[in-house]
Amino acid sequence: MYIKKIEDGPMMANCYIVYDESKNGFLIDPVYPKGKIEKFIEVNNIKIDFILLTHTHFDHLLGLKYFKNKYNVDVYASEDSKDIAKDPDYNLSRGFRDLDIEINRFLKDGEIFSKYNIRAIKTPGHSLDSMSYKLGNNIFTGDTLFKQSIGRSDFPGGSYNNLISSIINKLFIYDDDVIIYPGHGEESKIGYEKRNNPFLN
């Protein structure tokens, strides 16, 4: 699998375009409509099968409506997104119009889904509905775990204790060489964060 990171949007969040040799793939967190994300998909002739959300804060889904409609695909998110995704206090979207957060499939913890065999991993703490996704030797952690940092836990639905528990008990169980693809910033590895993350040592 190939992984292309595109940083965009007002909060400079990461969108990931994940695709295989046959140019089939999916989006993780469409952070902004059109622009760099759309250009990469079109230039490389990638067929988007679905969209994944790591959580439903506005800065990770400003392009959701646009790409969902453009590619006519389903949107997957945590089952915990069901009752809160459209709440502007929860998703921090007051002042933003026309987000239209429509989720078609709600994922359970540990569920393995799609032809890509992605594992859904509930990692609450930054938000109530934070979900990480493991694909092969890669984990997309959203705003739960960053390189040498962790997500904020002071937003509605956040919990510092849950955040630390999610990282230690749900992410740090994987091998040290597993690559972390976070919602902001650069990539890291599980082993590196175990040894060097100042919030966890």
How far apart CA 17 and CA 187 sit, in angstroms, is: 15
List, in sequence order, every beta strand (DSSP E) within 29-102: 47-52, 74-78
- Quick one: pLDDT at residue 96? 64
Residue 201 falls within a domain, yes or no?
no
Residue 93 falls within a domain, yes or no?
yes
Residue 117 falls within a domain, yes or no?
yes
Query: What domain count does the chain have?
Result: 1
Strand-pairing partners, residue 27, are 17, 51
- Quick one: pLDDT at residue 152? 95
pLDDT tens sequence for the chain (201 residues): 999 999 987 778 999 999 999 999 999 999 888 899 999 999 999 999 999 999 998 888 889 999 999 999 999 999 999 988 788 777 776 666 666 788 999 999 999 999 999 999 999 999 999 999 999 999 999 999 999 999 999 999 899 999 999 999 999 999 999 999 999 999 999 999 999 999 998
The angle subtended at Cα 111 by Cα 107 and Cα 115, nearest 5°, is 95
Q: Between the CA of residue 165 and those of 4, 21, 128, what are the distances in Å?
A: 29, 36, 13
If you compute the radius of gyration of the chain from its CA atoms, what whole number of angstroms results? 16
Q: Between the CA of residue 4 and those of 27, 41, 46, 61, 170, what are the distances in Å?
A: 10, 10, 12, 17, 25
Residue 35 falls within a domain, yes or no?
yes
Query: Residues near 162 by Cβ (< 8 Å), separated by ≥ 6?
Result: 124, 125, 153
Residue 186 falls within a domain, yes or no?
yes
Residue 124 falls within a domain, yes or no?
yes
Nearest to 123 by CA among 153, 87, 82, 99: 153
CATH code of 31's domain: 3.60.15.10
Alpha-carbon dihedral angle through residues 65, 69, 72, 73, given to the nearest 10 degrees: -10
What is the span of the domain harbouring residue 45?
2-196
